[in-house]
Structure 1
Amino acid sequence: MPRGTLTVDILPEEEQKLESLAERLRRPSSQLVHEAIAGYLEIQQWQIEETRKAISEADAGDFATEEEIRHLNERFTGR
């Protein structure tokens, strides 16, 4: 897949941390930035999808019953 170029302004402290981490990991800083962006995008996409699912369930009236909530409460609190 072809790659594009993105220019980002970062604080000097962030750049120093990035370079230090890249050196310790013996990997290029560009690779760390690429992985960070990919991970961020994956998390954001997951959150959006899960939110959409939850809204659809709520719109459909798909809520836990009182008994299900009581059972979960007992399970996690021991009461």
Structure 2
Amino acid sequence: METQSFTMNIDVQTYQNLKLLAGISALTESELAAEAVRIFIEDQSWQIEAIKQGIRQADEGKFASEQRIKDVFSKWGIDA
């Protein structure tokens, strides 16, 4: 599998826990971090399709009516 490097900042405690986990596993810190990112992206990927669907609907002119927006705002106690 082809890989791509990038840099990220994490808090010290998370980094220490990553080092500890790497020390007791057969994976490196980099491999553990890559796996965590992969799992997170896989778990959150539903958002990609939801956004694409929203764009398609907007392109088709399917928007919420003014009344619907007021009803939703009213539900949350916001005077629109």
TMscore range, shorter length: 0.5 to 0.7
Which sits farther off after the overlay, 27-36 or 54-63? Answer: 27-36
2:17 to 18, 21, 44: 21
Q: Which residue of 2 aligns with 1:49?
A: 49
**Residues 6 and 68 (structure 1), Cα distance of their counterparts in 2 relative to 1, 3 Å cut:** same
Aligned residues: 73
Unaligned runs of 5+ in 2: none
Determine what percentage of the aligned residue pairs are the same residue. 16
Distance 1:32 1:65, change over 3 A: same
Q: CA deviation at 1:57?
A: 0.9
How far the C-alpha of 1:77 sits from its partner, in A, is 2.0
* Deviation at residue 41 of structure 1 after TM alignment: 5.3
Matched with 2:36 is 35
What is the Cα-based RMSD across aligned positions, in Å?
3.5
SS in 2 for 1:61: coil
In 2: Cα distance, 1:67 partner to 1:21 partner: 50
Task: Note the alpha carbon deviations across 1:11-61, whole angstroms, 9 max, x for none.
Answer: 7x76x8765222168554323321213323553x43432221011111222
